[in-house]
Amino acid sequence: MEANTRSTGRLPAAFLTPGSSSFMDFLGQHSPEMLPGRRVLPPVQGAIEAPHGTTIVATTFPGGVVLAGDRRATMGNMIAQRDIEKVFPADEYSAVGIAGTAGLAVEMVKLFQLELEHFEKVEGAQLSLEGKANRLSTMIRSNLGMAMQGLAVVPLFAGYDVDREKGRIFSYDVTGGRSEEHGFAATGSGSIFARGAMKKLYREDLTEQQATTLVIQALYDAADDDSATGGPDVARRIYPIVTVITDEGFRKLTEAESSEIARSILERRLEQPDGPRAALL
């Protein structure tokens, strides 16, 4: 960036020059060293110990989409944090749930939020949901070097498509490969168990209340079989983060709302420890 402009009170020329609507392009042109993907790490032997976020789940319903995450972060076989937040609003109509290296993932989400905000300010309109998913894909791909050293970030992206008038879910791999999921999706260490639960419980005609219950059921099942996933912790009053995105925008369930659903599930599980049973036919 151009040096000192404080004496004149003017912004540096870089901020006044017309250019791309992408904040990452702007940063890459004027301060490339600040981009996560431009960092050069020394060669390492063995895995790098860093806190990792675990399980994120999402499901659609006729009015939108629900995105939720557990609260545990692990480092090796240790619990690094019990109350980490892994689900964040990307903008008014979308959200990101993070799995993988927690520090890098949170940084990526903040950069993604800036990217969408910058686009809207420059273009005067929001990026389409498809466009947002593509931008996130590019950011994940830029982290490939760190992923090869064990510091991967694998988020789940969900939002309400105002053009198609429905909720949509996008999953990613470590290379930035993007796939649209239909109905439900999960990522993280407990995803295989969460997907199994949602596969049996999902229906296309879910209400919003049923969808929020479904994702907490899925996280409970994931925590039941995956030690890196944290279930509802009544003693510490730590409950999953649950968000809902509809045509009215992004909304995060309050702790009271999440705890009410979690407690009702726990009470039912006293009688049925394995959770609700799906019909055979």
Are the C-beta atoms of 35 and 24 separated by less than 8 Å?
yes
Neighbours of 183 (CB within 10 A): 15
Spatial distance between the Cα atoms of 87 and 57, rounded to a whole number of angstroms: 10
Sheet holding 56-61, edge to edge: 184-187, 56-61, 64-69, 241-246, 249-252
Name the helix (H) or strand (E) containing 269: helix 255-271
* DSSP string over 125-187: SPPPHHHHHHHHHHHHHHTHHHHTTT--B--EEEEEETTTTEEEEEEE-TT--EEEESSEEEE
Burial 121-147 (b: 16+ CB within 10 A, else e): eeeeebbebbebbebbbebbbbbeebb
Q: Which two tokens stand for residue 89?
A: 């609003």
Cβ-contact 57, 199 below 8 angstroms: no
54 in catalytic set: yes
CB 96 within 8 A of CB 88: yes
Rounded CA gap, 79 and 96, in Å?
Answer: 23
> Which residues on adjacent β-strands are paired with residue 88?
96
Structure tokens at 30: 């004027």
What values do phi and psi take at 272, rounded to 5?
-130, 85
Identify the active-site residue in 54, 187, 213, 229.
54
Residues annotated as catalytic (active site), given as ranges: 54
